[in-house]
Amino acid sequence: MALPRLYFLGRVPSVRFFSQLPDKAFVNGKWVPAASGKTFPVQNPVDESLLVEIPDMDSEDTKAAVDSSHRAFQKWKNTTAKERSDILLSWNTAILKNKTELATLLTKENGKPLQESVTEITYASSFLDWFAGEARRCYGDIIPSPRNDRQIFIFKQPVGVAAIITPWNFPAAMITRKIGAAFAAGCTCVVKPAEDTPLTALALAELAAEAGVPPGALNVVTASRSNTPAVGKVLCEEDNVRKLSFTGSTEVGRILYSQCAKNIKKISLELGGNAPFIVFESADLDLAVKGLMASKFRNTGQTCVCSNRIFVHSSVHDAFVAKLQQAMKQELRVGDGLQQENNQGPLVNRNQFDRFLKLVQSAKGEGAKVVHGGTPLPSVGPLFFAPTIITDVNPGMRCFVEEQFGPLVAICKFGTEEEVLQKANDCERGLAGYFYSRDVSQIWRVALNLEVGMVGANEAVLSACENAFGGIKQSGIGSEGSKYGIDEYIQLKSFTFGGLHLV
């Protein structure tokens, strides 16, 4: 039975979030504290100042959110694709109307420059617009039967309650990329945002409710770093959760994958990357530098598709490094992201800053040469680090083996195509890869032989709602966005209709 049509009209909310930051979780359409009354702090990484205290929810709170979502699913799954599409479009409109305010909140809790936050909010809204269309194109099939007395049909049905666990580096886009597909399919959702950046998720939930998302269809459970494992375990093991989607580290992904095995849950994992960026001898060096700047320094190097392992042909190495150093001097400005002139913010928290500092120090100790930056910037703020170039890197160094998540360009020379492909593919992760060349045959060879899920040739910006986003090897399972993204939230049901007299 469909819900009354009036329920779906929704309204575009007014701008009002930020005179008072969100300080409650969102469950069953209501703003609620943790049952225990406990809270945890959300800090601004620019100066580590307190933004707000929010509920520190535990396993029991999470079970309540799952129950709410399961109840809502019994009605939501019977809505029409048109009704769900209308709600997604209304939510999209609400986000765009509040774009500047959402971006300001995102910058306060994440630290990325305001213009990057505005770009992320626009990117986030695009998934709602995209999946509003995909909801109405989720077609089944008619299969030719081997007998004349029956017909075979394939229905596409929503899998059920989807648990959504999102990272701190894209706290808006990773929510809408997942929920847009889930809602389009007819699933309801329980969201666990990263403990560093829960405020954007809560603001999006308020907009969703006012756009017409019914109570319980979208729940946001907030938890501190200490409570997060227990919350994640519930989302993995509860029988009423039939799908888990996680974006985050490979290490955490392994744990969640194991926990989901208990009840054979449908799962998609978008995990860590360690992207190669290859500059061949025929490359347009100016274009390659532009691409590396765009890829490496987005969100201060804190993205899973950042170029981490830079391979430059020995014949163009020195020229490339000189051009890159000049571009970094001219274009990168470090500071508080709320100040318009700055385009490089802090690292997200103290743990990440300390890990990144040790990574740079390790590279120095292993023989790499610092040719630009290489030091913290305490005069700017406690979590700021200078954009850095190191050369004379070899593939065995920690800065190549580990995902960096910071403003570090680590450069290794190479001599032949075969050599660089071997080095680029000698990695347990395979999310994205980039290369620059003007040799058409080489472009096809390398694109086909790079062991990654996403390849950019003479292009370093791959993300779009129309494009499939996902990796291979230990970078994950499944794809998000694109026409394929909705399949992650669908189960196929075959229907054989017999006893017919068709001939």
> In whole angstroms, how far apart are CA 82 and each of 112, 125, 176, 183, 214?
36, 18, 19, 12, 15
Which active-site residues does the annotation give? Answer: 270
CB 22 within 8 A of CB 54: yes
Conformation bin of residue 175: beta by default, left when phi > 0, alpha when psi is -120 to 50: alpha
Q: Span 442-467, mean pLDDT?
A: 97
Strand segments, DSSP code E, in 318-420 are 369-372, 388-391, 408-414
**What gap in Å lies between CA 397 and CA 25, rounded to an integer?**
43
Mean pLDDT of the chain: 94
Question: Are 124 and 92 within 8 A, CB to CB?
Answer: no
Pick from 211, 218, 250, 255: which is nearest to 236 by CA?
255
Beta strands 369-372 and 307-313: pairing type? unpaired
Q: What is the pLDDT of residues 304-333, one digit of tens each?
A: 999 999 999 999 999 999 999 999 999 999
Lowest mean pLDDT of 1-5, 140-144, 165-169, 473-477, name the range: 1-5
Give CATH 3.40.309.10 domain extents, the chain.
275-464
pLDDT at 7 over 80: no
CA distance 246 to 164: 6
Tell me the two tokens of residue 224: 């501190």
Q: What is the per-residue pLDDT for 206? A: 95
pLDDT at 89: 98
Q: What is the pLDDT of residues 40-79, one digit of tens each?
A: 999 999 999 999 999 999 999 999 999 999 999 999 999 9
pTM listed for this prediction: 0.94
CA distances from 195 to 39, 86, 223, 349 (A): 11, 31, 6, 11
Tell me the chain's radius of gyration from C-alpha atoms: 24
Share of the chain above pLDDT 90, in %: 95
Distances (CA, A) of 376 to 189, 321, 343, 360: 40, 22, 17, 10
Write out the residue limits of the CATH 3.40.605.10 domain(s) in the chain.
26-31+49-271+476-493
Q: Which residues, in sequence order, are CB contacts of 14 under 8 Å at separation 6+?
A: none
pLDDT (0 to 100) of residue 21: 83
| Sign of torsion over alpha carbons 306, 310, 312, 316 | positive
Residue 13: pLDDT band (50, 70, 90) is very low
* Residue 20 reports pLDDT greater than 90: no
**Looking at domain 26-31+49-271+476-493, what is its CATH homologous superfamily?**
Aldehyde Dehydrogenase; Chain A, domain 1 (3.40.605.10)
Alpha carbon of 70 to those of 63, 64, 65, 219, 263: distances in Å? Answer: 10, 10, 9, 11, 16
Checking if the pLDDT of 284 tops 90, the result is yes
The set of long-range contacts for 480-486, using a CB threshold of 8 Å and a minimum separation of 24, is 480/177, 480/178, 480/181, 480/245, 480/268, 480/270, 481/127, 481/130, 481/177, 481/181, 483/134, 483/137, 485/131, 485/134, 485/177, 485/180, 485/181, 486/131, 486/134, 486/135, 486/138, 486/181, 486/184, 486/185
Residue 354 pLDDT: 96
Quote the pLDDT of residue 386. 97
CATH topology of domain 275-464: Aldehyde Dehydrogenase; Chain A, domain 2 (3.40.309)
